[in-house]
Amino acid sequence: MLYAKGQAVQRDDAQAIKWFLQAAKQGHQQAEYNLAVMYLLGAGVVESSKNAAAWFRRAANQGFADAQYQLGLLYLQGQGAGQDLVEAFKWWTLAADGGSRLAARALNTLAQELSSYELEDAAQRVTAWREKHAPETLATEAGDTDGDSAAAAALNPPPSGGP
């Protein structure tokens, strides 16, 4: 984080990416989240909302509320994945339950746009996620990409000046 913010060292996005990637490969949620932000902004890497979504998803699947909120935002906007308001609602529900005030506010707005069928679908998705990612399961799957090929590909990102 020091290299990303330029604290006690000169800001160096390439070094920040190197250290975030090393920690993310070990399942560190904050590092996964930080990598996602770097991809979203194109800081030290080629901008890629697809890779950002993959890294947010890895952290989100470990219960990281900030990543869950950001992943919901990407689904709302159709960035990095197709637009899916029900999926956005699912992630924001999980984030709000994890303490995200932004997600709680966003839920209220989005709920007004969804049909009762879509709200029920979102509730079922939340339940399914919770069953799959129970706390005892999360501890054993910390490094699992959940079969997400985009996250797997993002483990070895191209250099920032890449193709």
Q: What backbone phi and psi angles, to 5 degrees, belong to 149?
A: -65, -30
CA distance 80 to 49: 4
Rounded to two decimals, the pTM is 0.76
Residue 140 domain-assigned (yes or no): yes
Which tens digit of pLDDT belongs to each residue from 102-154? 999 999 999 999 999 999 999 999 999 999 987 654 544 444 444 343 443 44
Give the per-residue pLDDT at 138.
52
Q: 3-class SS at 116? A: helix
Q: Which domain holds residue 124?
A: 2-154
Residue 160 domain-assigned (yes or no): no
Quick one: average pLDDT of 52-67?
95
Q: 3-class SS at 29? A: helix
Residue 147 domain-assigned (yes or no): yes
Question: Per-residue pLDDT for 16 more than 70?
Answer: yes
Give the per-residue pLDDT at 5.
55
Q: How confident is the model at residue 73 (pLDDT cuts 50, 70, 90)?
A: very high
Residue 10 domain-assigned (yes or no): yes
Q: How many CA atoms within 13 Å lie on the side-chain side of 29?
A: 14
Residue 84 domain-assigned (yes or no): yes
Residue 68 domain-assigned (yes or no): yes
Question: Per-residue pLDDT for 2 more than 60?
Answer: no
- Count of domains in the chain? 1
CA distance 139 to 150: 22
Residue 88 domain-assigned (yes or no): yes
CA distance 123 to 95: 14
Q: Are 153 and 21 in contact (CB under 8 A)?
A: no
Average pLDDT, the chain: 81
Question: Regarding predicted confidence, which is higher, 112 or 162?
Answer: 112
What are the DSSP calls for 57-83, one per residue? HHHHTTT-HHHHHHHHHHHHHT-SS--
In sequence order, the 6+-apart residues with CB closer than 8 A to the CB of 85 are 75, 76, 110, 113, 114, 118
The CB density around residue 119, as the number of other CB atoms within 10 Å, is 14
Residue 93's CATH number: 1.25.40.10
